[in-house]
Structure 1
C-alpha cells in the first residue's frame, strides 16, 4: 500500500486540519472536529446537514458553504459519523428555522442520523437519497443506495434554502429532486482503505464491476472490460429505463469520477453519454464533470441524470461558494 499518510488512525483528523486551513474563508471546524461548519451562518435560514464516511471527498465537507450545506459530519473512512457528531452539528448551525438532514441510504448513516434527530433540540426533518439504480438492496443499505445524486440534492436544496424557504418546503423539494435523479457506476479497479492495507476487492486486468457502489460493494455483475461507448450505453440505458424522463424536459448530466480516473477519460464519457441521450431524444442542458463523490483511489466513474424543470434549472444555476463548487 502506497499512500500519503502518517498513520491510518490519523488520516481523517489530519486531513480535516488541512481542509480547514486551506478553506478558512469558507468553513470552520466544530469542537473535537466533529463536523465542518459554514463559517458565516445566515440568521433565520433552515440549516442543511449531511455527512458520511470519509474517503468520498469532496463529498460532503467540500459542499459546505453559501448555496449548499451548513454543516457536514465526517466519519472515519467508509464509516458513518456517530449520532453525537450529527447532534452537535444540528445544534451548532440552528438559527431558529430548523434543520434538514440529507442522508445517503446506507444502514449506518440512516440509523445514526435518525438517532441524532431524536437527540436534537430544534425541529429536524430527514430526506433519504437513493438514486443508485444498480441494485435494489446491498449489505450496506436497505433499498437503493445513495450515491452521486446526493450532490444534486444538496445543490438544489441549498439554493432554495438561501432564498428563505421553510423546512417543510425544503423537505418536499429534496424528495422531488431525489425522485427525478438516477445514477449508476462502473469500477475498473478497487480501492484500498488505509486501515485495511489491502484492496477491497480484486479485478482482473480485463475485468470491470458494473454497477459498483461507492464503498466498493458489488454491483450487478463482473464482466469483461468494454469500450467507453459500450460502458456508457449500459449505464445510460439503465438510468433512462428507470427514470423515464418526460418528453421535452432537459436534463442535468453529472459524470463523476471515483478518484482514480483522469479528466480526459471523464470528458470522453461525457461525450459518449451525451450522444446516447440525444439519440434517444433527451436534451442535456446542464453538465458537471469531475471527481465529486469518490471512492478513495478507485478507477471508474458514475453517471447521474436529473430531469430538470424550470425551477430545478434555476436552482442549479444559482450562486454557490464552497470548496468544491463555486460559481456566480
Structure 2
C-alpha cells in the first residue's frame, strides 16, 4: 500500500516537525519527548493547565487542540502506542510549579498506566496533578454478552473543549476534574468501519472486511467490533448507531444534546455530511433538541474509512456555552 512517508521509524517526528513548521508562531516543539505546547504557557493566567495525549495515528488529536481555550500541552507516542511515563513527566515539568496540571486520559490500559505513573512521580516532586478518565465508547464485545468496552474515543474531544473553556474562567483543579468526570458520565460514542486501518510500522491491517461489509463497534486501534453485515446505505448506518445510543439514554422529547460526527481517517467530508443529514432527520423524528452539532475528522484511526457518532446529553447549560466558546487552535 502506498503512503506518503519516508523512514517508517521517523513517522511521528516527521509529522510533528511539519505541524510545528506551520504553527511555530503559536507553539513550541520538544522533539526529544514529542511534546507540542503553547508558547505562552507561562503567561496564560489560568490556575490549571490541561495536558492530553496518546498514541499517534489519531490526528488531529491531540496536538491539533493545543491553544487558547483547549489544551496547553500534548504529548505523542508512536503509532497506536501511548507516550511513556518519561515523556508525560517531561510535559508536566514544562508547567510552573505554582500551577496545577489536569491530564485528560483515554481509557486504555497502557495509557492509564503510563499517565498515572507520571502523575505519581510528579506528585512526589511537589506538583499538583490530577486526571480525568474518558471512557465514552459503548461498543460491546458481541451481541451475546453485551459487555461494554468503555474505551476512550472521539468524545474525548468534547472533554477537551468543555474543560478547556472552563479552565479559562478560573475553575480550580478539583472543580475541573468534577466538570470533566460529570461530562464523561453523560457522553457516549459508537462507530462503524467500512475498511480497516493500515499500520505502516507493523505493515498489517487491523482487521479484515469483505468489500461489501461494514463492521460496527470497532475501536480506534483496530479492535474488533460487535457485528459485521452487508453495507446498504448511510441511512442504515445512522439508524444502527442512533438506536444503540437511544437504548442507553432512553431520551425524552425535548432533551438537549450535543453531537459530534467524526470521520475515522479516510472518510471524505462529503460522506460525513451525508451521514450528518441522516442523523439530523433521526433527531427530528425523535424530538430531541440538538443544541450543538460538529462534523469533521477529529480523532481518527490512521487511514480507516468509517465514522463515529458521539452524543452528549447537556445536563448543565454551561456545557453548551463552553462548547460554543471561541478557541485558537488548529483543528476545531
The verdict on a shared fold, with TM-score over 0.5 as the criterion, is: yes
- Cross-structure match for 2:232: 226
Tell whether 2:289 aligns with 1:287.
no
- Cross-structure match for 2:70: 68
- Cross-structure match for 2:99: 97
Tell whether 2:202 aligns with 1:196.
yes
Deviation per residue, 1:261-306 (Å, 9 max, x gap): 1111100111111211221111112111111111111101000111
1:264-283 to structure 2, matched below 5 A, reads 264-283=270-289
Deviation per residue, 1:119-170 (Å, 9 max, x gap): 1131111111011111269xxxx95101000000000000000111100000
The answer for unaligned runs of 5 or more in structure 1 is none
Following superposition, the deviation at residue 104 of structure 1 comes to 0.4
Tell whether 2:329 aligns with 1:322.
yes
Contact 1:130-1:178 within 8 A present in 2 as well: yes
How many Å separate the matches in 2 of 1:226 and 1:31?
A: 46
Aligned counterpart in structure 2 of residue 127 of structure 1, from 109, 132, 136: 132
Aligned counterpart in structure 2 of residue 208 of structure 1, from 214, 217, 236: 214
Aligned counterpart in structure 1 of residue 49 of structure 2, from 47, 50, 54: 47
- Cross-structure match for 1:22: 22
Task: Give the paired residue count.
Answer: 322
How many Å separate the matches in 2 of 1:273 and 1:93?
A: 41
* TM-score between both structures, scaled by the size of structure 1: 0.94
* Structure 2 residue matching 1:185: 3-state secondary structure: strand
How many Å separate the matches in 1 of 2:64 and 2:135?
A: 21
Following superposition, the deviation at residue 72 of structure 1 comes to 0.8
Aligned counterpart in structure 2 of residue 149 of structure 1, from 136, 155, 177: 155
Contact 1:68-1:320 within 8 A present in 2 as well: yes
* Structure 2 residue matching 1:321: 3-state secondary structure: coil
Deviation per residue, 1:72-127 (Å, 9 max, x gap): 11000000100011111111124523111100000110000010001113111111
How many Å separate the matches in 1 of 2:111 and 2:233?
A: 35
- Cross-structure match for 1:238: 244
The answer for unaligned runs of 5 or more in structure 2 is 143-147
